[in-house]
Structures are given as structure tokens and as C-alpha cells.
Chains A and B, each alone.
Chain A
């Protein structure tokens, strides 16, 4: 039966063969493309642009906080910067970057010719520039951009000026884009796998994305529902969250965090997948406990739905509720620990080399774990009541997101760049980028633990003088981290100038994507690569 499938053409005879020509020329290629590689590239470039826009907002924040007192910006603008920085980094940088990687790699890793719904794929992407164009345009509106924090808690968010409906509309568009992207990924993985690519044979990046896509389908509509209710409260006379009309503002927090906590795992599970691809390659050993990694990721995804109220311990809830959410949150450390131990066991007695993707992956394992440990501290109710809304929380989630998600994105970019461009990037520049980023990320965020423990609240433009030293250090780190990213831009700009990449690229790489030429042809796997799947198996 398999032999029959190998010989079967990807499209039946009645299908026209428009898929077999190369890309269109000029702007039309990018506007109308349905090719997963083109769309992946657009997602990645878009997210990089957003990363720099969001990063420059972070530098405004850190410049203001370099010293106590008001330095450069008005407090109102400072609040706009914290809000926009978060919205842009979460929805504009990290999420689209992982969707870009998914677009590029999932069809190639499962032996599919493209995504299952290519036109919807195009639409998913092109909604994003519109959404962020609308969001960024609020900076120039009367009353300025949204300033109530990315959590958009009422009643504060209802005091937003003209920007309010634009904020709601842009969040809806971001959600729509994510949901369509998630549907496409699920449908592709469930229906387009080459024969013999069984579910438990799929690479970890595909697995973690499948689980992430389920999370997206479940929680993005919840966010959309919450902001729809905000909209009707503001403009249509409802009182979902307005206490004066009989509504409940705390209900918004419950609904928001029912979305918000799985959102954290939406940003980290694909990072787990990336690291699970890279560490075996550079340790030259199969991933330790592939199936247990799948179960651990599924377990984390399940638990992510029953821990949301740990963000709200100080809001007030029954003791039984506090205990439930505390223990459920602490439980997440178990499957996460499985993952960390499996990565370490993969490296154990491996023939390791330390190219840039591996360096970023190793830093990920160390520093993400550090962010996880401070997360455990925050899970404990009595201590959380002390840490809540302090810089300790800022330190915690930045350790999870920057040397966590963003380092994994850098690792993925360096790992697959030769497959995308057909050339090796500058390893020296890559290593400079890694060391500068790693040093400065710690200089930026580690002192924030001390600031939080000493009582510095988050989201303030001014602070008491005893917090000066650590704030100055963090600001210097932030500027250093920002400048370090210019090295990454240099790597990208010179990515096609290095020596020609081989098909395999890395000595220890395994997987279908490494069986196609470098750069990957515009169309791959028009016929299912059954023989290659057997050859590429680690077992």
C-alpha cells in the first residue's frame, strides 16, 4: 500500500498544475502568495519589525527609569509605552514569529506539499499588518494610545480616549489571525502528514505546535469575547463589568486570565519544540524520551486551563480557591521538570558542539528554568501577596519570555537559516550576538528580582531613591541588549554571503527538512517522502 502511495502524484490529473511554477514576480508574489515558505518568511520579517518597535518602547521605559524622578516622558506616555510594549511583543513579535516558523517548517517536517488551507494562510498573515497599523495609529490620537496595561482591566481601560475602539478592533483582528493560523496548523498536521509519519513519530516542533494550536482555538475566542463585552459596556449601555450597573469588574479578570495563562504556554510550547529539535542535533544523540516530552507538553497544556486565578490572589477569593490554584500551579513544575531533565539527559555523554543555535538553546534551558523557579515562588499564595504587582513579577515573566521564547526564536533562526537561504551565516557574528544578548539580558532582568523583593511596584515612571542603583544597572543592560540585536540584523543582511550550505547543514541533524536541497525549493514533497521517513528515523 505504501508503494502505491509513494508513486501517487500529490494532485490528481484533473488538478491544474499552477503549483509547479516558481514564485510570481514583484509585489504580487507577497500580496497574493499561497506558498507556505513565502508566508512563513513574511511572518518572520513582520515579527522582527515588531520586535524592534516593541523593543524601542522598552528602551523608552528603561531610559525613564534610569534615575528617579521624571526624566524624558510624561507619566501618561510612560503608561502608554508599557501597554503598547506588551501588546506588540506578545501579539506582534513572539506569536507571529512562531507562526512563521510553523509555516516554514511544519509542512517540510511532516512531508506535506504545503499548508492545508493556503488561501486562508495568506489572509491570516495580511490581517496582522492591518491590526498593528491600527494599534500603532492610536499613538497619534487624542488621548494617546491605550495606557491601562495589556490586561485591559475595566474600569480603567474604559477611560481610554479615542483609541479605545481601535484597541478593541485590533485585538479582535489579532485574535482572528491567530485562530485562522491555528486551524490551518491543526488541519495540516491531522490531514496532510505523509504516510508512515505517525503521530508519535512527528518531530517535537510539530507536536508542540499541534498542542499550541489547540490552546489557541480554545482561548483566543475567550479574549475576543472579553473585549467584545468591554466594547458593549463602553458604547452600547451594557454593564458586564461596570459595578454601577450591577456588573462585576472581577469577572473580566477571570475571563481575561482564562485566556491569559494558556497564552503564556502558547508563547513557550513552540519554544520547547525548537529546543527539542536543536539539542539532539548538536549533542548527536536522539532526543531522550520523545514520547514523554509529548505527554509532558500535553499535560502542561491541560494544566494551563486550571491555574488562571494565580494571577488574582490579591483580588480576593475563598481559601479553598487559593489552595486549588496554588497547588495546580505548582503541579506544572512536574511536566516542565520532565522536559528539562530530558534535555539534560539528551546531552548526557553526547558528542556536543557549541554552534550558535546550540548556545541559544543551552541558555534557554538555564534561564527559562530560572524564570520557572521564580514562577514557583509566585505560585505560593502567602508569598505572592508580597510579590504581587512588584518588579519581581516583571523579572519572572521577562526571564520566561526573553531568554525563554525569544532566545528559542533566535536559536531556531540560526538553526534553519542555512536551509532557508542556502548559505551559512557568519558563525562569529552569531556567537557575538549570543554572548552579548546573554550577558545583557541578565544585566537587565536579574536586578529586577531584587527591586521587586525590596518593594518597587511595577508600571511606575518614578520611584524612591533606594531603588536607583539596580534600576540604573537594568537600564544599562536594556540598552546593551537592544544594541546587541543589531548584530542579528547584520547576520540576516549577510545571510546569503556565507559559504554554500549542504543539504544536511548540521552533522547531527535528522528530519525530513534536511533531506531537501538548501535553500529549500519553492515546492517540496509533491509526492509523499515515505522512504525518506524510514531513513530519517532516529530509532
Chain B
């Protein structure tokens, strides 16, 4: 694997998991909004 390819994979994995974290944050607030 080239360095550039590895960098791309690192960035992609980081973004995916950051996205998951954001979805969980907003999702649980939405549970509160929908229930209220």
C-alpha cells in the first residue's frame, strides 16, 4: 500500500467514525425531541 493510499484510508476511516459519533449525538437528541 502506498503512503498516499494509506493517508486516504486513514482520512476515510476517521471521517466515517466521526460521522457515526455525530449521528449518535443528533439521533439521541431527536429521540428527546420526538418524545417531548
- Contacts known (A117-B14, A240-B36); A191 close to B24, Cβ less than 8 A: no
Closest-CB distance, B32 to chain A (whole angstroms): 4
**Chain A, 1-50, CB within 8 A of any chain B CB:** 11-12, 15
- Residue A380 at the B interface, CB < 8 A? no
Query: What residues on B are CB-neighbors of A224 within 8 Å?
Result: 25
Partner of B14, one of A12, A187, A246, A258: A187
A221 and B6 in contact (CB under 8 A), knowing A186-B13, A226-B28, A229-B29?
no
Interface string of B1-15 (1 = CB under 8 A from A): 011101001100110
B3 in contact with A239 (CB, 8 Å): no
Which residues on A sit within 8 Å (CB–CB) of B14? 116-117, 183-184, 187
CB-nearest residue of chain B to A246:
B36
Chain B residues with CB below 8 A from A495, complex form? none
Closest to A190 in B: B13
Q: Which of A186, A225, A239 sits near B25, CB closer than 8 Å?
A: A225
Contact A251 B35 (CB under 8 A): yes
Chain B residues with CB under 8 Å of A251's CB are 31-32, 35
Q: Are A229 and B21 touching (Cβ within 8 A)?
A: no
In the complex, A182 Cα to B36 Cα: how many Å?
A: 32
What's the Cα separation between A9 and B28 when bound, in Å? 45
Within 8 Å CB of A400, what residues of B? Answer: none
Contacts of B20 in A (CB 8 A): 217-218
A187 to B16, CA, bound (A): 10
Q: How far is the CB of B2 from chain A (nearest CB, A)?
A: 7
Q: Which residues of B contact A186 (CB under 8 A)?
A: 13, 17
- Asked whether A217 lies within 8 Å of B35 as measured between CB atoms, the reply is no
Count class of interface residues, chain B = 20 to 34
The residues of B that contact A117 with a CB separation of less than 8 Å are 10, 14
A365 within 8 A of B: no
Enumerate chain A residues within 8 angstroms of B22, measured Cβ to Cβ: 221
One of B4, B10, B26 near A116 (C-beta < 8 A): B10
Shortest distance between the CB of B36 and any CB in chain A (Å): 6
Say how far B34's CB is from chain A's closest CB, in angstroms. Answer: 11
Interface residues of A in 152-205 (CB under 8 A from B): 179, 182-184, 186-187, 190-192
Q: Bound state CA distance, A217 and B29, in angstroms?
A: 16
Chain A nearest CB: distance from B8 CB in Å?
10
Alpha-carbon separation in the docked complex, A411 to B10 (Å): 32
Whether B36 pairs with A225 at a CB distance below 8 angstroms is no
User: For the complex, what is the distance from the CA of A221 to the CA of B23, rounded to whole Å?
Assistant: 8
Residues on the B chain within 8 Å of A248, using CB: 35-36
Cα distance A251–B30 in the bound complex, in angstroms? 13
CB distance from B33 to the nearest CB of A (A): 8
**Given A225-B32, A251-B32, A255-B31, A187 and B25 contact (CB-CB distance below 8 Å):** no
Cα distance, A12 to B3, chains bound together (Å): 7
Known A186-B17, A225-B29: A239·B24 in contact at CB below 8 Å: no
Q: How far is the CA of A42 from the CA of B28 in the complex (A)?
A: 33
Max count, chain A CB within 10 A of own CB: residue among B2, B32, B33: B32
Task: Verify B21–A217 contact, CB threshold 8 A.
Answer: yes
A 208-228 to B, binary, CB cutoff 8 A, 1 in contact else 0: 000000000111111011101
Measured CB to CB, the closest approach of chain B to A249, in angstroms, equals 12
Contact status B3-A255, CB under 8 Å = no
A247: interface (CB < 8 Å): yes
Chain B minimum-CB-distance residue to A186: B17
Residues on A with beta carbons closer than 8 Å to the beta carbon of B29 = 225, 228-229
What A residues does B31 contact at CB under 8 A? 251, 255
In the bound complex, CA of A226 to CA of B2 (Å)? 42
Does residue A238 face the partner (Cβ distance < 8 Å to B)? yes
In the bound complex, what is the Cα–Cα distance between A217 and B22 (angstroms)? 9
Which of A179, A226, A255 makes the CB contact (< 8 A) with B21?
A179
State in angstroms the CA–CA spacing of A246 and B3 once bound together. Answer: 55
- A365: min CB distance to chain B, Å: 33
Residue of B14, B18, B27 contacting most chain A CB atoms (<10 Å): B14
Contact status A217-B17, CB under 8 Å: yes
11 examples of A-B residue contacts, CB within 8 angstroms: A12-B4, A183-B18, A187-B14, A190-B9, A190-B13, A222-B24, A225-B27, A225-B28, A229-B32, A240-B33, A251-B35
Query: B residues touching A (Cβ–Cβ < 8 Å)?
Result: 2-4, 6, 9-10, 13-14, 17-18, 20-22, 24-29, 31-33, 35-36
The 7 A-B pairs with the shortest beta carbon distances in the complex, nearest first, are A221-B25, A225-B28, A221-B24, A240-B32, A225-B29, A12-B3, A187-B13
Q: A11-B3, A225-B24 are in contact. List 13 more A-B contacts (CB 8 A).
A: A12-B4, A179-B18, A183-B17, A183-B18, A190-B9, A192-B10, A219-B24, A220-B21, A221-B25, A222-B25, A224-B25, A225-B25, A240-B36
